[in-house]
Chains A and B, each alone.
Chain A
Amino acid sequence: MPALILKKPKALAGLLLVAVMVLLALLAPWIAPYDPLALDPAVSNQAPSAQFWLGTDFFGRDVLSRMIWGARPSLLIGFSSVAIGCLIGAAIGLAAGYFRGWVDTVLMRPVDVLLSFPIVVLALALVAALGPSLLNLILTISLLFVPRFARVVRAEAMALRELDYIDAARVAGQTPVVIIMRHVLPNALAQIIVTCTVFMANAILVEAGLSFLGVGVTPPEPSWGNMLAEGRNNILGAPWLTTFPGVMLTLTLIGFNLLGDALRDILDPRLRGLQA
């Protein structure tokens, strides 16, 4: 698989974009030219210049530095909530899809209920109740993805359980847990990886949306979403405040979407033939 990724330009471009964003987030303290929180009223709302490459905001903070630091919450929240959502969701999906019957009903009913809210609306309601904090944001966004992972993995497990080698394992007397962990899960893994990649883009989008609405990452801590919200108040006078965080966010989403698209092409053998 790694070799296949490097051969596809789409996958390579996606991987590159994601890698750049991860590096920016990791190296923020060393590459950001200024302190992202340092106020300086003397240089309020400056247009991009040699001194401040991407300009400054109302409080005289350097936009480039805030943009680089802003990669941190996006990636951290995106990654942790997808990881938590995937672990719980996949466990639910595997059990529901493999056992069927009442296990399926008991596990999937709550899942259907959670899916009956528009994603942003449920996120807003949850964060409103819990109060905004990094941990609450991660928990909220994970909860949004648990039912979505459960659906995808359940469908996969249901298809796999009908296959002959699963029957063989069952006849050989293996316990359900062993069958699920050793035979079902590994074969569902391709689908799970693709789903994770696509959901990373969604999770980052939800975090940015919540921060934009003022219930996500709390200012003055920079995140691309709250930078857009702050820039919105002076969109005509200082358009650079909304342009650059938007570009970063879009590039990140493009990266994960490209990677997801390419992985799906590589991992889904039915589509592979069509690609030629």
Chain B
Amino acid sequence: MGILIRFLSQALPTLLGAVTILFLLLRMIPGDPAQAMLGADATAADLARLRQDLGLDQPLWVQYGVFLRSFVVGDWGNSIVTKTPALERVLEALPSTLMLCVAAIVLIIAISLPAGVVSAVRRDSWVDYGVSLVVFLLMSMPQFWLGLLLLLVLSYWLDWFPIFGAGEAGDLLSQLHHLVLPSLTLAAGFLGLVTRLTRSSMLEVLGRDYVRTARAKGLREPVVIVKHALRNALLSVVTVIGLTMGQLLGGAVIVEVVFARPGVGTMIWDAILQRDYPQVQAGVAVFAALFIATNFLTDLLYGLLNPRIRV
């Protein structure tokens, strides 16, 4: 019940606002949007038909009502380039993008948690300094440059990884092989945030009384660190990982373009270069919806994990 109320009062209005922004974006295109989409050599009849399809010949508030209604029923218009339903194309490309994001999250957890714990436990040692240096460099390296460097060295020079694409359909091994560099690149920018946070929450927790008690009653150090400290430090880390999931979607656009990997990101990019606005709109709307959904779920998860704020 509480979840429903929170969904209705938080996630839904945000989604409505996001859709409104998308509505306004299309109307913000300078000049005649129909002309912009079809190009200079479009016939008057084509232009009139597209204007009618998009409802551009109606007053703004009517357009808004029509837009909202067709948005809710899933009729998001057709791509101008392929003439097929825009939403369908996005949903077809989505699994590849989600796979990339999930792989990046797995890498972030597998690398950042141990790195953060070790640098907290060995505070001010060379390991701590080494980790923070590497993490700082990764944070400051643009993803598209890191991706290009990895491509150049590991794919072109050493020939360890494929150069583009997402692998053969149905062949899991080939798909994973194609996933390594893009997911590493996508993960790199977020490793810093999660590692730093793990380190600082561990430092905070390690100073608490219950950790001292656990040590005093003679528990072995690994048990103290994992069972008593890490478990309590994870609370804020899990929240940030959840929020990161949403940010990864934005990063996926650039990473997909760098590695010429099919997905929603490359689709939005292609659509923008071809001025295929309904397709851009559909792609951005799906990303915004996913973003709002992951943030909402993170919120719920935080409540579940932290009994103190549970209502």
CA distance A225 to B258 in the complex (A): 12
B256 to chain A, nearest CB (A): 11
Contact B251 A246 (CB under 8 A): no
Contact B284 A113 (CB under 8 A): no
A177 at the B interface (CB under 8 A): no
B22 to chain A, nearest CB (A): 7
Contact A257 B145 (CB under 8 A): no
Contact B246 A242 (CB under 8 A): no
- A interface list, Cβ under 8 A from B: 109-110, 112-114, 116-122, 124-126, 128-131, 201, 205, 208-209, 212-215, 225, 228, 231-232, 235-236, 239, 242-243, 246, 249-250, 253-254, 257
A214 to chain B, nearest CB (A): 6
CA distance A101 to B155 in the complex (A): 56
B268 to chain A, nearest CB (A): 6
Interface band, chain B = 35 or more
Closest A residue to B272 using CB positions: A128
Closest A residue to B153 using CB positions: A239
Contact A116 B140 (CB under 8 A): no
Give the contacts of B259-311 with A (CB-CB under 8 A). Answer: 268-269, 272-273, 275, 277, 280, 284, 287-288, 291-292, 295
CA distance A273 to B100 in the complex (A): 41
Most chain B beta-carbon contacts within 10 A, residue among A109, A205, A213, A231:
A213
CA distance A49 to B272 in the complex (A): 39
CA distance A241 to B25 in the complex (A): 35
Contact A235 B14 (CB under 8 A): no
Q: What residues of chain B lie closer than 8 Å to A232, measured between beta carbons? A: 148, 258
Closest A residue to B289 using CB positions: A116
Contact B253 A116 (CB under 8 A): no
A18 to chain B, nearest CB (A): 13
Q: What residues of chain B lie closer than 8 Å to A124, measured between beta carbons? A: 253, 268-269, 272, 280, 284
Most chain A beta-carbon contacts within 10 A, residue among B249, B287, B295:
B287
Q: What residues of chain A lie closer than 8 Å to B148, measured between beta carbons? A: 228, 231-232, 235, 242, 246
Q: What residues of chain A lie closer than 8 Å to B253, measured between beta carbons? A: 118, 120-121, 124, 213
A132 to chain B, nearest CB (A): 10
- B interface list, Cβ under 8 A from A: 13-15, 17-18, 20-22, 25-26, 28-30, 136-137, 139-145, 148-149, 151-152, 156, 246-247, 249-251, 253-254, 257-258, 268-269, 272-273, 275, 277, 280, 284, 287-288, 291-292, 295
Closest A residue to B139 using CB positions: A257
Return the contact of A129 from the options B18, B26, B139, B151 (Cβ within 8 A). B26
CA distance A213 to B254 in the complex (A): 8
Contact A116 B272 (CB under 8 A): no
Q: What residues of chain A lie closer than 8 Å to B151, measured between beta carbons? A: 235
Q: What residues of chain B lie closer than 8 Å to A129, measured between beta carbons? A: 25-26, 28-29, 277
Contact A121 B268 (CB under 8 A): yes
Contact A116 B15 (CB under 8 A): yes
6 interchain pairs (CB within 8 A)?
Answer: A121-B253, A128-B275, A129-B29, A209-B142, A213-B257, A246-B149
B258 to chain A, nearest CB (A): 8
